[in-house]
Amino acid sequence: MKKSIALFLGFAIILAGCQPSERQSRRSETITVAVAANVQFAMEELESAFEAESGIAVETTISSSGKLTAQIQQGAPYDLLVSADMKYPTALVESGKAVLPVRAYGFGALVLWTQNELELEENPAFLLQDKIRKIAIANPRNAPYGEQAMHYFEHYGIAEQVASKLVYGESIAQTNQYILSHAADLGLTAKSVVLSPEMKGTGKWLEIPAQSYEPIAQGVVITSYGQKVHPEASRRFFEFLFSPKARVILEKYGYELPKVTIG
């Protein structure tokens, strides 16, 4: 009897080895996602939820949307781009480096953030005070949040007056480092950063009026590489970003959600 059981178990193991389940196969697959720096903390939760649901592993590269787009244009093997705007994903499609559709997964918001003993005011004229010597923003040439920070200054007519105070991070991530290290007296960053568990309660922040800059629609796209090499896994992650689970996570980090299209 024991011998029969042993033979049966051995045969079952051989069969399992020869015929891996679809779930096991998926677990051996890994996709690489290029992620805009403002989404860094939310992405950690999105990754975990997606991996638990699908069994597909996710690796991320965090940088500014512009730099990530340049890397994809040069052949970097990213399966998807999770951008901080719609411009860069659309540019990838137009150059043949990504495939339609490009969809907005959320709308970001700008905040003022400081680690110093400063009183943040809704009237941006307070930024002109002598005691505020350095203001950190992301580089507007590469980072959509930096571009919108400049729109904020221009909206209130203080762009020229604050120009000498500006210090530029390569992305929102480096901008945050300037703020956290006191290298800048304050900075403009993403609301998703100050709401993250890692940063919540650190320093003081104030949301910037939405009418002072253009809506930050953030888009995702599957790259041509992802479509060719990991088509099913890339499609599943793309669709996951619009699922109820993902929407709960994105909302937690302060993103305004796009309306759900039915039918």
CATH assignment of the domain containing 43: 3.40.190.10
Sequence-separated (6 or more) residues with CB below 8 Å from residue 248: none
With respect to residue 257, please indicate whether it lies within any of the assigned structural domains: no
Residue % of the chain over a pLDDT of 90: 87
> pLDDT by residue (tens digit) across 23-81?
444 456 999 999 999 999 999 999 999 999 999 999 999 999 999 999 999 999 999 99
The reply to whether 84 and 163 lie within a common domain is: no
Alpha carbon 122 to chain centroid, angstroms: 27
The reply to whether 122 and 207 lie within a common domain is: yes
**Which token pair is 124?**
């941006």
* Burial of residue 257 (number of CB atoms within 10 Å: 0-12, 13-18, 19+): middle
The reply to whether 47 and 37 lie within a common domain is: yes
Identify the pLDDT of residue 16.
39
Identify the pLDDT of residue 259.
84
With respect to residue 11, please indicate whether it lies within any of the assigned structural domains: no
Q: How confident is the model at residue 138 (pLDDT cuts 50, 70, 90)?
A: very high
Strand blocks (E) in 73-226: 80-82, 98-108, 110-114, 135-138, 166-169, 186-190, 204-207, 216-223
The reply to whether 93 and 121 lie within a common domain is: no
Q: What is the pTM of this model?
A: 0.87
With respect to residue 18, please indicate whether it lies within any of the assigned structural domains: no
Range of the domain at 139: 110-212
